[in-house]
Amino acid sequence: MAEFSWAPRSSLEKALVAGAHGTRGIEAGISLTEIRNFDLIQVMARRGQAAELAKVAKARFGVAAPNAPKAIQTSDATLIWSGPDQFFVLSKGGKHTMQTLATSLSGPASLSDQSHARVLISISDAKARAMLAKLSSIDLHPDAFAVGAAAATSMDHTSVTLWRGGDRDGLAVFNLLVFATFAESLWHMILDSAAEYGVDIGHSKEF
């Protein structure tokens, strides 16, 4: 009997080379971190059940789920708007899974597991906006895209979910969920776009 290993492998396993990339000798203008250990569940209201879902979700998470393009931080999850009457529940791996969410949400909502369908990339540091302007057509100026703003949008003709997390060291942090099969391609495009600013690359199991 063969010994099987079921080691998960990120779509960026090969492409992501931790360390410095692009222009050297300056302080890296871009920090790129892949976050590898998460659960992501798509929650969609059943027909006519949006109000009921909102009620149940509020009871479940302690805060109202987003009903506009926002990302809402709870104590142990991020609720990200993904379309009318639907949102993502993003949490550390094993925290909010299909099984745990089904018990409270499956009445008024349909759930679909997207944990493996996306790659999660965090983009920060001084040149984050300048670099994202090469990939994203939406306005990321602080007045237009405040902390907690989210967008279902496209980068390089690829659907993505983008939201602004809490600032780090006074600098904006942008989080990006990209389809797993597109991830390596978009990653290279990100590196090409970021190279001039100097990039610091890493990955993490922590949010």
Find the binder of another protein among 136, 176, 200, 201 (CB under 8 A): 136
Q: Quick check: 91 binds another protein (CB under 8 A)?
A: no
Phi-psi map region of 61: left, alpha, beta (phi>0 left; psi -120 to 50 alpha): alpha
Distance CA 85, CA 123 (A): 28
- Shortest separation between residue 108's beta carbon and another protein, angstroms: 11
Region from 70-78, 120-128, 136-144, 165-173 binding another protein, contact rule CB under 8 A:
136-144
Q: Quick check: 63 binds another protein (CB under 8 A)?
A: no
Distance CA 116, CA 38 (A): 9
Q: Quick check: 204 binds another protein (CB under 8 A)?
A: no
Distance CA 90, CA 95 (A): 9
Please count the residues of the chain: 207
- Shortest separation between residue 141's beta carbon and another protein, angstroms: 6
* Burial tier of 19 (Cβ tally within 10 Å: 0-12, 13-18, 19+): exposed
- Shortest separation between residue 164's beta carbon and another protein, angstroms: 15
Give exposure, 145-175, as e/b (b: 16+ Cβ within 10 Å). beebbbbbbebbebebbbbbbeeeeeebbbb
- Shortest separation between residue 68's beta carbon and another protein, angstroms: 8
Q: Quick check: 175 binds another protein (CB under 8 A)?
A: no
Strand-strand pairing, 30-35 and 199-204: parallel
Q: How many CA atoms lie within 13 A of 203 on its CB side?
A: 18
Find the binder of another protein among 83, 94, 107, 202 (CB under 8 A): 83
Q: Quick check: 97 binds another protein (CB under 8 A)?
A: no
Q: Quick check: 8 binds another protein (CB under 8 A)?
A: yes
- The residues of the shown chain that bind another protein, judged by CB under 8 A, are 1-2, 4-11, 13-14, 22-23, 42, 44-48, 68-69, 82-84, 86, 110-118, 130, 133-134, 136-139, 141, 144, 151-154, 156-159, 179-182, 184-186, 188-189, 192-193, 195-196
